[in-house]
Structure 1
Amino acid sequence: MPATESPLHIRAAGRADAPTLAAMIRSLARHEGKANVEHITPEAVLDWAFGPEPAFHALLAEDGPTALNPAPLGYLAWYPVFSPFKGGRVILVENLWVEEAARGRGVGKALLQALAREAGQRGLARIELNVRRDNEATRRFYASLGFKLPGEEVCRIEDEALHRLAQR
């Protein structure tokens, strides 16, 4: 790490982080080619992550506590799901995003390490995530951390196709 960069600090996101999370979620969505991001607002994130029934949890990466103005560097959004095969809850990572200017600093790795510690504290034996087949660099990154590709493909139905299925 260059002398000008402060160490990374990973922490659980809180209500005050909703605007930052909304901005980073929109950045990731745009990066993945999703055009409709208007619904990703700070108010929506407040409800989704910090409302009466939170739909996800988030970790935030930022410059270390010695930084004068800690900048957000990335986030990881996750939620617990149940796996009958594991016989309990596991963690599903919905999003992992590192701001372009922060890439190469180990932010993604630090976020996943923090999540692994969280999994251990909760007694959860698996972290699962999806990665696009054409994203070879990210696949190599996950493999370097010990993630395996189980040979399964994600199947998804949404929007109009979901509506049509429900009407059949």
Structure 2
Amino acid sequence: MAANRYNPATHPWNPPMNDGVHFQSRLPLAWQTESKQSPFEAARFLDVLGAIEHVGDDTPDPRDAKLDLQLVWLARLLTPALPPSVEARIGIEHAVWFQAQPLPSGARGWVGFSPSDTLPFLLSLPAQIIACEPSGSGGHRVAARWIIEDQMLREALERMVFRHHREQIRRKREAGL
């Protein structure tokens, strides 16, 4: 089999790095050589995002609604332009995405992505490239593992991934009914 053809055994969307808990989406994402925020900032952003995107029966307090709107405006000021959207899989241990240029295996940097349309903010998480393969579309399928040492950030990422994972399952069930 040619190196640029699909091989399920080595395809980065499949094992051995299948997180189990992950979500797939088309979202703004880019590899970065420097961090755009501290681990504390990134963790707090994920916590606030979780609170804003919480879908419940309770009506939000008008003060919370004002604060939410201010946060949206601040996110747009801090991230005036997002990278192009790409197909990606974000898991609790790995990220996989498609891009035009190859990245060297072993490279360390940050995966910058915006996990929400609600708060368009570019989150930067430390990662290491573990695979980069040509894809059939002329680009490259890149796989990276998270190298998050900050426990607060790791837990915030896991909560965000679980939330998106559950939402995708819910949407699939509704579509199947």
Q: TM-score, normalised by structure 1?
A: 0.25
More strand per residue: 2
Q: Comparing both chains, which one has the higher relative contact order based on Cα–Cα distances under 8 Å and sequence gaps of 6 or more?
A: 2
Q: TM-score, normalised by structure 2?
A: 0.25
